[in-house]
Structure 1
């Protein structure tokens, strides 16, 4: 049965690694619905957060293939209850709607905030889960929605401390090796 999963991949910073990872999903017929990547707290280690709809067995095989890539430290499959996650949305709204006092209440009631106001438009920021962001989009449409943009999932795994300690130890060991070679 298909279900939404979050895949985290810890990797070195290498040109083309995004392509090599995504091709593995493509070959297995798994569509990526969200992909976010950034450097972790450990210099030189990057974290890919990939959201997919798949069945677990097929996804476990994909993760196994990803881990065979030389630049990969580890890859994991997580169910929603194993991660804390958020997405970010920006909504550009016509400034004329500010004359209607209801939109300010709508912004407050939905824990959103105004980022910028110009003569023609203003931009609202909201974080939350995907459905919350879509619900906000629907509520804002009557106010002159001009544009909408949403980020991919940003997630922290609830149980990842041991693995992060391992990565920090690797980084420390690599730094010590570098010092030894340069002397």
Structure 2
């Protein structure tokens, strides 16, 4: 169905210019579309940045937005993907009172079972890092929240496609 709302991961390859993030987010804002996740990073091509944006919208609207994104001067190419076309992860950090780590055996079990890892421990707090799918991080959050979370932060989605991205080959040709 063309109007069925789906989750899309958008990959935007760009030159790294000031103000581009604002213009890209305005494309979604004008259409009253909430950005679920946003990540910017370097790409596999030297001098080219990559935006990874997650939105929930109908595919017909997604196609129009890709067209608007590609009209931006600094944008080299934009793609959209469904979840079955990508491999993705999110990452998060939890800060929790140190006394719980030693007094609550259940917290140690939760950390172990979730494949999270402790990144630092001191007298006041300890920090846990977890990478995985959104559902895994949500579950760990719910389990740890029962004990009290001092701080929590989560990254945007990072994703690679299962199939080759033709843009990589195309842009490498320009570098040679």
The answer, yes or no, to whether TM exceeds 0.5 is: yes
CA contact (8 A) 2:39 2:53 kept: yes
CA distances 1:118-177 after superposition (whole Å, capped 9, x unpaired):
1111000001111111110111122232111111100011223432111111222xxxxx
Residue 84 (structure 1) aligned with residue 58 (structure 2): no
| 8 A Cα contact 2:39 2:156, kept in partner | yes
Match of 2:24 in 1: 21
Contact 2:38 2:51 in 1 (8 A): yes
1:45-78 superposed Cα distances (whole Å, 9 cap, x missing partner): 0000000011110111010111111111100110
**Partner of residue 43 from structure 1, selected from 32, 41, 46:** 46
Match of 1:124 in 2: 128
Aligned residues: 172
**Which residue matches 2:138?**
134
* Structure number with larger C-alpha Rg: 1
Q: Any stretches of 5+ residues in structure 1 without a counterpart?
A: 173-183
Tell me which stretches of 4 or more aligned residues in structure 1 moved more than 3 Å: none
Per-residue CA distance 1:94-137 (angstroms, 9 max, x = gap): 11112222221211111000000111110000011111111101
Mapped partners of 2:27, 2:145: distance in 1: 38
Q: Give the structure-2-normalised TM-score.
A: 0.93
* TM-score normalised per structure 1: 0.90
Aligned with 1:149: secondary structure?
strand
Q: Map 1:1-183 to 2 at 5 A.
A: 1-98=4-101, 99-172=103-176
- Aligned residues of 2:44 and 2:168 also touching (Cα < 8 A): no
Q: 1:7-66 CA deviation, whole Å, 9 max, x = no partner?
A: 100001111111111111111221111110011121110000000011110111010111
Aligned-residue CA RMSD in angstroms? 1.1
Q: Which runs of 5+ in 2 are unaligned?
A: none
